[in-house]
Structure 1
Amino acid sequence: MTEEWQGWREAAETALYGDGGFYRSPVRSPEGPAGHFRTSVHASPLFARAVAGLLARTAEELGLGTVALVDVGAGRGELLTGVLAAVPEGLEVVPYGVEVAARPPGLDPRIVWCAEPPRGVIGLLFANEWLDNVPVDVAEVDGDGVARYVEVRSSEGAERLGAPVGGADAAWLERWWPLSVPGERAEIGLPRDEAWAGAVGSLAAGLAVAVDYAHVRGGRPPFGTLTGFRGGREVRPVPDGSCDLTAHVALDACAAAVDRGAVELTDQRAALGRLGVSGERPPLSLAATDPAAYVRALAAAGEAAELTARGGLGDFGWLLHRVGTSPEHG
């Protein structure tokens, strides 16, 4: 890692995705993302089953018996594996895992492993906690009220203020995350807008879904959200390749970056509710008539409650872009 001062976007790109970076190195991260942070995929198999249901609905809307499933930021293929095990009988799925890391051993041979979303596919593109790992620059307002790029030194994470924010980055801040008070910070989300537009653009028809930590204009955090994760714990963000680097996503800006299809922005609680995931406890009468079924239903309700919890996973944003499908099927 360099000792020179860099913008956060450049430093994080190298730390996460460069040679020997956090997501590429089997030494730094042998367990994959699951070894460092817990997503909805790891919280419960109910999540993969819900995605399987969404895939089936998408196929029905398209009138197809064969449909693609593109998992962007596939990790070690956990979501793909869970969905393939849960798809309804008779639906043929062509699965793609999009990931910079090498294909994990033992993966279902049907899964096509690739570094970029395939072009021209028809089906469901699903990006769970991908956009928060797309590196972005950080801006901070100086004592004179000028928004400047924050520069970082990779070796220890020390920061300083650099040049004033200009060009397309300044326009993005003005539209999506205005700054004025000295000390205020923002993550400049333009690279994520472009990444999401590219992902949606890879679909010939179907549904693209981004699920992530999110905020919208009017509710931006005043000091940004950039942080690190290592071994399941939040740590100081240091771009030396030793930890995950993440920041919440301005999903409203991502939504506006796509000029095709119908768009919806909701939360995970509502989205999973429409897919049949509910934290409602089973009736006590079931315990008397079928104790084993009651125990199973109670466990499922607990898992569903975690996936839809307020102040937790249930508050995650869901951004849905439909391309060539009917929006009323949700």
Structure 2
Amino acid sequence: MVDWEALWREALYGPSGFFTRGEVPADHFRTAPLVGAELAEALLVLLDRVDFALGRPARLDFVDVGAGGGELAAAVRAGATGSVAARLVVTAVDVGPARSLPGVRWTAALPSSVHGLLVGHEWLDAVPCPLVVGPVSHPWLDRWWPVGEGERAEVGEPRDAAWADAVSRVARGAALAVDYGHVRADRAAGRYAAGTFAAYRGGRRVEPVFDGSCDLTAHVALDACAEAAGGDRVLVSQRDALAALGLSGAVTAAAGPGWLAAAERASRIAELRAPGGLGSFGWLLHGVGVPVSSLLPPLPPWRP
């Protein structure tokens, strides 16, 4: 039997792997940190709420897991102001070559202890996992993704373990996973009967190969990740979360010199919140020693 998970892992993270050699998402597909500074702005609002809940500690962490080119970490560092900026320690975690970014620490391993906010932005979708064709009997599949004859699926156990480990690194604060994915109700209904495993190269979807030449990815069972990490948590859409953090996209500037900049900003926010696009991403937020209700108001449950 082919060990697809091992092939996937070698293709991305082996000695000559796609990410190991320094490929970055910006060269292969559009992602929210590339749209503009607005995602970082929203995360800084969330970070400030975490900071307040922690009592404004002497050190405040922001950890970007699966940092890629470091765009998100750099934008958070650049956008921080006042007391938060003075106490903020920004760490980018990625297996690729370290990048020199002002005010950003670079590491290949997750920190052992985080006091602040840990974010895995489109990280879990790049965690390799077994690929199967049904019918298959497996405890994880039986619980989370029943598959019938000829149906394809990805066994999300490695993602569950990776996310549970990441959340466990947060001593106090919050952990946020942002990704495209699915929930059990849709999987059980056969919406994903063809599976979601895919490959991208140079901005285009291509046939998956395991030679390190393309990004290999699959949607994330965020509901399973939520249960694996446990604790106080909420799973909502990016569209709703960004609105709750102050990004509505409305153009409020009057006609004049500021109108064009306001309209451009509104366009970027609209892209981040677009239904069926980035706005349909799931935000899985865990509070650790901090109530999730103090970070986000009640929002509708996520359904991609």
Partner of 1:270: 240
Aligned residues of 2:285 and 2:292 also touching (Cα < 8 A)? no
Q: Of 32, 40, 50, which residue of structure 1 is paired with 2:42? A: 50
Note the residue ranges of structure 2 that are not aligned, 5 or more in a row: 297-304
- 1:327 is displaced (CA, Å) by 2.3
Partner of 1:216: 183
- 1:279 is displaced (CA, Å) by 2.2
Q: Of 91, 94, 97, which residue of structure 2 is paired with 1:96? A: 91
- 1:111 is displaced (CA, Å) by 2.2
Q: Deviations over 1:69-103 (max 9, x none)?
A: 11000112111110011113111111111100110
Asked if 1:293 is matched to 2:255, the reply is: no
Helix, strand or coil: the match of 1:55? helix
Paired with 1:17 and 1:64, the residues of 2 have a C-alpha distance of: 38
Asked if 1:237 is matched to 2:208, the reply is: yes
- 1:281 is displaced (CA, Å) by 3.2
Partner amino acid for 1:9? E
Partner amino acid for 1:94? V
Paired with 2:91 and 2:261, the residues of 1 have a C-alpha distance of: 32
Partner amino acid for 1:102? P
Aligned residues of 1:200 and 1:208 also touching (Cα < 8 A)? yes
Aligned residues of 2:251 and 2:262 also touching (Cα < 8 A)? yes
Note the residue ranges of structure 1 that are not aligned, 5 or more in a row: 148-164
Partner of 2:144: 176
Question: Percent identity of the aligned residues?
Answer: 47
Aligned residues of 1:269 and 1:309 also touching (Cα < 8 A)? yes
TM-score by length of 1: 0.85
Runs of 4+ in 1 over 6 A off after TM superposition: none
Paired with 1:64 and 1:11, the residues of 2 have a C-alpha distance of: 45
Asked if 1:228 is matched to 2:228, the reply is: no
Asked if 1:185 is matched to 2:152, the reply is: yes
Partner of 1:158: none
- 1:54 is displaced (CA, Å) by 1.2
Paired with 1:327 and 1:140, the residues of 2 have a C-alpha distance of: 38
Partner amino acid for 2:169? S
Helix, strand or coil: the match of 2:185? coil
Greater per-residue strand proportion: 1
Q: Deviations over 1:277-314 (max 9, x none)?
A: 1122336xx10xxx111111111110000000011000
Partner amino acid for 1:107? L
Helix, strand or coil: the match of 1:292? coil
Partner of 1:134: 127
Q: Deviations over 1:16-70 (max 9, x none)?
A: 00001101124xx3xx221011110001210111111111111011112431011
Asked if 1:310 is matched to 2:304, the reply is: no
Q: Deviations over 1:161-200 (max 9, x none)?
A: xxxx6xxxx10000000112x2111100000000000000
**Comparing 46-55 and 301-310, the one that deviates more:** 46-55
Q: Of 225, 230, 246, which residue of structure 2 is paired with 1:254? A: 225
Paired with 1:203 and 1:328, the residues of 2 have a C-alpha distance of: 18
Aligned residues of 1:53 and 1:87 also touching (Cα < 8 A)? no
Paired with 2:248 and 2:208, the residues of 1 have a C-alpha distance of: 35
Paired with 2:258 and 2:274, the residues of 1 have a C-alpha distance of: 24
Q: Deviations over 1:128-186 (max 9, x none)?
A: 00000000111112xxxx32xxxxxxxxxxxxxxxxx6xxxx10000000112x21111
Helix, strand or coil: the match of 2:117? strand
Aligned residues of 1:56 and 1:88 also touching (Cα < 8 A)? no
Helix, strand or coil: the match of 1:277? coil
Paired with 2:252 and 2:194, the residues of 1 have a C-alpha distance of: 43
TM-score by length of 2: 0.92
Asked if 1:319 is matched to 2:292, the reply is: no
Helix, strand or coil: the match of 1:136? coil
Aligned residues of 1:56 and 1:87 also touching (Cα < 8 A)? no
Helix, strand or coil: the match of 1:116? coil
Partner of 2:80: 87
Give the number of equivalent residue pairs. Answer: 288
**Comparing 207-216 and 49-58, the one that deviates more:** 49-58
Paired with 1:328 and 1:251, the residues of 2 have a C-alpha distance of: 19
Partner of 2:108: 115
Partner amino acid for 1:23? F
Paired with 2:240 and 2:233, the residues of 1 have a C-alpha distance of: 15
**Comparing 315-324 and 294-303, the one that deviates more:** 294-303
Partner of 1:154: none
Helix, strand or coil: the match of 2:83? coil
Q: Of 252, 271, 288, which residue of structure 2 is paired with 1:282? A: 252
- 1:246 is displaced (CA, Å) by 0.3
